Amino acid sequence: MNGLAVPAMNLDAVAGVRDLERHLLALPQTPIETRHLLHSGMYARTILIPAGTALTSALIRVATVLVIAGDTLVTLGEESVRLTGYHVLPAAAGRKTAFATIADTHVTMIFPTATRTVEEAEAQFTEEADGLCSRRDPTSNHVVITGE
């Protein structure tokens, strides 16, 4: 592991990402597909952020594992860093992450859950589920629920 982690953010840092989000929402939106997997008490959510795209996450209220593969500027707490290649990061609850991709970048968030549907898992990890790309365009979702 590279020693990086995604810490919880203070209120000012979250407000800064919210300001960026308001600006981005006024621009044309890039379609984002979401791949969901509910398996063996785990929820994995993967998106591909195309090169040249800026995107903000919902405010995440659970600790997760965050897997980033690509080339992107990303907020890690109160700082912004460039991540290239493949990274598996511990990510704290209480974060709202911003990405600006240089190359296509896959981002996967994983956490344990007892939920049985994507909608329940989304409601578990954020109070902002209605603003998720997966909710704005349900046709962009690819869902696998194994029942295990």
Average the pLDDT over 81-99 and give the result.
96
Residue 98 lies in a domain: yes
**Domains contained in the chain, number:** 1
Residue 19 confidence (pLDDT) above 70: yes
Q: Say if 2 falls within a structural domain.
A: no
List the domain range (segments joined by +) for residue 73. Answer: 11-145
Q: Is residue 1 part of a domain?
A: no
Tell whether 4 is covered by a domain.
Answer: no
Q: Is position 36 within any domain?
A: yes
Q: What is the pLDDT of residues 120-133, one digit of tens each?
A: 999 999 998 988 88
Range with the lowest mean pLDDT among 12-16, 49-53, 113-117?
Answer: 12-16
Q: What pTM value is reported for the model? A: 0.91
28 in any annotated domain: yes
**C-alpha distances in angstroms, 138 versus 40, 118, 132, 133?**
24, 11, 10, 8
Q: What percent of the chain has pLDDT over 90?
A: 74
Question: What residue has token string 């578990």?
Answer: 124
Phi, psi for 134 (deg, rounded to 5):
-65, -25
- The answer to whether position 6 is within a domain reads no
Tell me the CATH number at 59. 2.60.120.10
**In-domain check, residue 5:** no
Identify the pLDDT of residue 1: 43
Tell me the two tokens of residue 1. Answer: 């592991």
In this predicted structure, the answer to whether residue 65 has a pLDDT above a threshold of 80 is yes
